[in-house]
Amino acid sequence: MNAKLIYLLLVVTTMMLTFDTTQAGDIKCSGTRQCWGPCKKQTTCTNSKCMNGKCKCYGCVG
């Protein structure tokens, strides 16, 4: 019983985290500062990171 509940919580948490991040199109970057503008236009937040040469935007909290 507990194993099923833990597995369900793990799946739900993974799905929530997956849908929270979005790619900022095909914007190439070499540093996180280059992602702030494009991510602000997409998500109205500057929460972003340059990963593998592409911008990843993170949704606002609150």
Which amino acid is located at 5 in the chain?
A: L
Q: What phi, psi does 58 have (nearest 5°)?
A: -115, 140
Strand order in the sheet with 21-28: 21-28, 54-58, 48-51
The answer to whether 28 and 45 have CB atoms below 8 angstroms apart is no
The answer to whether 51 and 28 have CB atoms below 8 angstroms apart is no
Q: Considering only the top CATH level, what class is 3-57?
A: alpha beta
Structure tokens at 44: 């109205």
Query: What is the helix (H) or strand (E) element at residue 5, kind and residue range?
Result: helix 2-20
Note the pLDDT tens digit of each residue in 15-59: 777 665 665 667 889 999 999 998 888 888 888 889 999 888 887
The pTM for the full model equals 0.55
